[in-house]
């Protein structure tokens, strides 16, 4: 991933992004961003990175904003979360998509196309961010792909530093 440009976000755009996150994760997310400096880095990839106090905490695909894995570590949300079993951790940590048999729990509010935080069942630590291919209710099935992986621990977004 290569950063093409980087600049500060205006207050109105920052507020719009925080409001979008509040609608997904609840009002408690606002405290993570109060008094922080927001910068956007436009990349040569499909997403742009939003730095909050020089940390890559959020990313955008089109108009949608969502936490990176580092942002999810700070957030500790129960919403838009999918829990995977120990057997799936290694593959997901290397960028694999999530299959239904590896899912032990999922937020039933998840809709097809939503971004989700994938966490392990033992420590509840975020492993990856993905896009739901099916609803949260259908994710704990016996077969099929449930989530397309977008960003995971150890990828170029994870390693990005200022």
Same domain, 81 and 153: yes
Same domain, 92 and 22: no
The domain of 29 spans 3-74
- What pLDDT, on the 0 to 100 scale, is given for residue 92? 96
Same domain, 79 and 57: no
- What pLDDT, on the 0 to 100 scale, is given for residue 2? 80
pTM of structure: 0.92
- What pLDDT, on the 0 to 100 scale, is given for residue 29? 83
Per-residue model confidence as pLDDT tens digits over 57-98:
999 988 889 999 999 998 888 899 999 999 999 999 999 999
Mean pLDDT, rounded, of the chain: 91
- Label each residue of 91-133 as H, E or C: HHCCCCCEEHHHEEEECCCCCCCCEEEEEECCCCCEEEEEEEC
Same domain, 69 and 131: no
Question: Where does a domain end: 39, 74, 109?
Answer: 74
Question: Where does a domain end: 29, 52, 74?
Answer: 74
Q: Does the pLDDT of residue 147 top 90, yes or no?
A: yes
Same domain, 101 and 79: yes
Same domain, 52 and 96: no
Q: What is the CATH number of the domain that holds 28?
A: 3.10.450.120
> 153 falls in which pLDDT band (50, 70, 90)?
very high
Same domain, 80 and 154: yes
Q: Which residues contact 106 (CB under 8 A, 6 or more apart)?
A: 81, 82, 83, 116, 136, 137, 139, 140, 146
> 162 falls in which pLDDT band (50, 70, 90)?
low
Q: Which helix (H) or strand (E) holds 15?
A: helix 11-25
Q: What is the CATH number of the domain that holds 109?
A: 2.30.130.10
């Amino acid at each position: 991933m290569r950063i093409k440009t980087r600049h500060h976000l205006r207050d109105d755009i920052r507020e719009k992004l925080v409001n979008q996150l509040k609608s997904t994760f609840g009002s408690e997310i606002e405290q993570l961003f109060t008094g922080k400096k927001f910068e956007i880095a436009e990349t040569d990839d499909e997403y742009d990175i939003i730095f909050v106090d020089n940390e890559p905490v959020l990313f955008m695909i089109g108009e949608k904003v969502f936490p990176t894995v580092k942002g999810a570590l700070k957030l500790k949300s129960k919403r838009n979360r999918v829990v995977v079993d120990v057997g799936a951790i290694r593959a997901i940590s290397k960028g694999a998509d999530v299959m239904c048999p590896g899912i032990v729990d999922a937020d039933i509010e998840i809709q097809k196309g939503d971004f989700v935080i994938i966490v392990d069942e033992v420590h509840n630590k975020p492993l990856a961010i993905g896009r739901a291919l099916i609803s949260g209710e259908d994710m704990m099935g016996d077969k099929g792909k449930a989530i397309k992986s977008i960003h995971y621990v150890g990828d170029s977004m994870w390693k990005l530093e200022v």
